[in-house]
Each structure stands twice: as C-alpha cells, then as structure tokens.
Structure 1
C-alpha cells in the first residue's frame, strides 16, 4: 500500500495570489485551497502547484548559486507517523519546523542529499455521516 497519496510542487514567493493567477492562466487551472499564506491550484491535466507566502522571498538567481533554491515538495499522506517511519527508514531526517502556521498538520524533512520536503496530513473529503 502506498503511503504517499500525491505530490505537490510548492513555490515560495512574496505574493502567492499573483503567482497563482499566472499559473492558473497557463495551466487552465482552478484554485483548490486558499488561505492567508498559501494558494494551491490544479490544472486541467491534473498538475498540482502551490504558492506559499514568504515575505523575504527574492527572485531565483539560477544558475548563480545564491538564492537559487526556492521550491520544495509537499507529499500528502493519511498517516504522518507511518510516513515519518518510512522517510527515516529510507535515510531521510526530520527538520526542526516547530511553530509552522497553517490549517494542516505538516512536518518537514530532508532527503539523504539534504533537499527539503514536507509531509502534510490530508483530511478526508467524504461528508460526515449521521
């Protein structure tokens, strides 16, 4: 059974709403999540992107090394503890992400090469019975 349900590429930026508008037009996408610090979209072909507010964001300088890393991966999971055991078992390590604000429970990790990513707990989409 797969532990990870889906992946979302997240771009850090100063104005997530504006960047989301650009990609919505490019991908014929619709918003799937909007909150004070994050906008997520899904394109007509299923492509998922999110844009996270970072007030200190600067434009990427690629290929120059300074400020060149401004993206990370979010992986959506049902069970954070199970997913963490898998990450650690494969050689990843938890990152200190205490105090992260947002509507979702999430945990930060680094892969064996040091690239950061986030596991986010997903909430069921089926309506409550009763």
Structure 2
C-alpha cells in the first residue's frame, strides 16, 4: 500500500509576495504566517493548510483564457453568496475576465498577480 499523502501547502509564484498574501488574507480571512518576508509570504488555515506566495524575478502572469502564458494551476473557493463575494474580490483588486465558462455554476477571476481562481456556490 502506498504511503498516505496529505496536502499541506500550495505555493504560487508572483512578483510581490506581501501584496498577494494581503489580497488573499482579505479575501479569505486566513492569518499571515509570522515568518513572511519580501521573498516569501504565507497564509495558514487552522487545519494546517498553508498557501504560500514566492517572489519570482521576471514573473510573467498567466494570460487566461489565452494560452500564451498558461495558467498551470488555479485555486477554487466555495462561497455562500457569489454576488457578495464577487463584489468584495473586485474591491480588493481581483479582475473578472469577460470569458466565463461556468455559466451560473462558477465564476472565474484573476488575482492581482494574474493567477486565475474560481468561486463556486456552497
């Protein structure tokens, strides 16, 4: 039997770890990890899940839905109210691409560093 693997962290490349951590902290309410700095910042959830943001020189943001610079990965978040969450995210600096493949089931946004992420109703 293979060893059991538990996901403990997700890390995103970006040009400014502190700014991207601040965006996701405000959007999710997760706490900033105390050892965050200019090269790497992180947010921690009570159950141990960690979202990290690492500085990458010459960072190129994904160009979703165009594949010139592919998204490579994205985050999904469940929310109670899609409209309320959308308003908050746009106020925090997210963008909502014109192309929305999810119809009424989910909505696609991009964070301030260009990473696509999705919201679904819970």
Greater gyration radius: 1
Bigger strand share: 1
TM-score, scaled to structure 2: 0.47
TM-score with structure 1 setting the length? 0.45
